[in-house]
Amino acid sequence: MKDNNSNLRIILAVAISFLFIVVYSYWQKPATAPLSPETSAQSQSTQNAPAPSLTPKSTAPISTDSASSGVIATITSKDFQIDIDSLGRIAQVYLKDKKFTAPSQEGFFAHIKRLFGFASTPQVPLSKLPLLGADTLKPLEVRFGDVAINNEAFSVPYEASTNQIELDTTPQTLVLTQKLKALTIKKIITFYPNLKYDIKIELDHSNLPYVITSGQRPVADADGYAFHGVLLETSEDKIEKFEDKDVKKLEQFNGTKFIASADRYYTSLFFTRAPSGFDAIVDAEAGSKNPLPFVSLKGNASIEGYIGPKDYIALKQIYPILTDVVEYGMITFFAKPVFLLLNFLHTYIGNWGWSIILLTLIVRIILYPLSYKGMVSMQRLKELAPKMKEIQEKYKGDPQKLQSSMMQLYKKHGANPMGGCLPLILQIPVFFAIYRVLYNAVELKSAGWILWIHDLSVMDPYFVLPLLMGISMYIHQVLTPNTIADPMQARIFKLLPVVFTLFLITFPAGLVLYWTVNNIFSIIQQLLINKMLERKKALEIQEHHEHHHHSEKK
């Protein structure tokens, strides 16, 4: 039957789309940290050029024991530590919160192996999580267009006003000074407890052009499915994105509001509140084509920065437009409102798992009218099955007449062959939006729910939720009227709970929780509708008997 074939194709298309995203996320190679050490790639590309490069490097050889490697100042707080090296750069940022230092959740088989002594000892929490790669472009590095000044700047160490700052609740300032032969450079950096910082640069020569970088992206989470690279917001409120390995040439932007390098959960960025913005440059790292972010300045200048987790509320409190740094991929336009609703629920509930359950209920309520119509339509199709079979036999050799007669039958009885698939189709964008939110929102990292679920952003280590999801899907399938006449198609349809269970085993536990609860709500709704239709049918039969009995009396 043509319409049943269409229904099956749609359902199978949904299954294949789930399979695609699992295979894609599993087999895509993790985005690695930019490999070529910035300090080893110090070849001067502009030495014989007619004009200096916009983002020149030093020709001075800098080894791991020279000016670039020594830590001259450390800023510490209860939540983080920032190391400043002797080139006046942020050499490393460490996060101390257990949310970031906890090891990834152990899988079921790894747990069993360790239990019986067949595996090494389990992962232990880190004392602090480093965000930056060892040999990558560091935040606050300054490069000059003048070749001689630039080479000297990479050879002469900075001096720090203090070598230790303890941050509590009050911002504190560090002054870094570099004295060159014909130029003195001062970096006046004010650090805040929320990982924001202000930087003022003072030069002897007021018109000297230079660039400063917010650094290459953090490498604390190298997962390949999330966005890794540089993104910025233009004066037209447009987000420009440059992923690792995809930058082919130097790009310049005027009036930029922010420029950020980011991995899955963390970012290092510069921004300005000035209406005119700043001039940003995205250059390609030699060899890897990874994006390098720079801001072009001249003389004395000031800029604001942040380095740390892509926490939506924290970024919004610093400067609202920075929330655009939180990236959910192509579905960002839909995933962001889903996150905002989930975050709103969390502010009142205080637990992300229960918030996901409440979000599922809200989605079900919104889609209820369509779900109701779809379920009623499926029931009517089941009741019409004998008549549909008669029409098929009658017009077996005339497809046009068969289709026309089918449509008349549907219209007469108010049945819609596509009605049962519509609620499932509408669930797809919600499903992928929640998937991206769970995958990209740092707020859900290490967020537990109940008992064995200690992190909703990774797979259920004991597969309990995927199994419950499969069982609930099977129960819903049994309760749903089946209009598939072909035995082969019916067998394929019955296998879908098993297929979906296998698909979702590796998905974040929070997503499987959403789909399981969604199935449970569907079961409840289907039971209520089935009872309602049974009562309605019984009433119709009773009315028919009464009418027949009344006619016989006459």
Query: What is the torsion angle, in degrees rounded to the nearest 10, for the CA atoms of residue 138, residue 141, residue 147 and residue 148?
Result: -120
Asked whether the beta carbons of 394 and 548 are under 8 A apart, the reply is no
Neighbour tally for 539: CB within 10 Å: 10
Q: Would you report the helix, strand and coil content of the chain in percent, each value rounded to 5?
A: 45, 20, 40
Give the pLDDT score at 465: 92
Here the tokens at position 553 are: 């009396």
Q: How many angstroms separate the CA atoms of 508 and 275, rounded?
A: 41
Asked whether the beta carbons of 324 and 239 are under 8 A apart, the reply is yes
What is the DSSP secondary structure assignment for residue 442, as one 8-state letter? G
Partner residues linked to 268 by β-bridges:
261, 307
Nearest to 327 by CA among 447, 243, 416: 243
Q: How many angstroms separate the CA atoms of 361 and 30, rounded?
A: 35
Q: Which residues in the chain land under pLDDT 70?
A: 1-54, 58-69, 104-124, 222-224, 413-424, 481-487, 489, 540, 544, 546-554
Surface-to-core class of residue 531, CB atoms within 10 Å of its CB (0-12 exposed, 13-18 middle, 19+ buried): exposed
Give the pLDDT score at 482: 63
For residue range 219-246, list pLDDT tens digits in order.
988 666 778 899 999 999 999 999 988 8
Asked whether the beta carbons of 244 and 230 are under 8 A apart, the reply is no
pTM of the model: 0.80
Strand segments (E) across 299-347? 301-309
Instruction: For the chain, list the domains and their CATH numbers.
Output: 2-22+336-553 (no CATH), 57-327 (2.70.98.90)
Give the pLDDT score at 165: 96
Q: Which residues contact 316 (CB under 8 A, 6 or more apart)?
A: 322, 323
Give the pLDDT score at 408: 78
Asked whether the beta carbons of 501 and 467 are under 8 A apart, the reply is yes
Q: How many angstroms separate the CA atoms of 247 and 229, rounded?
A: 10
Give the pLDDT score at 9: 54
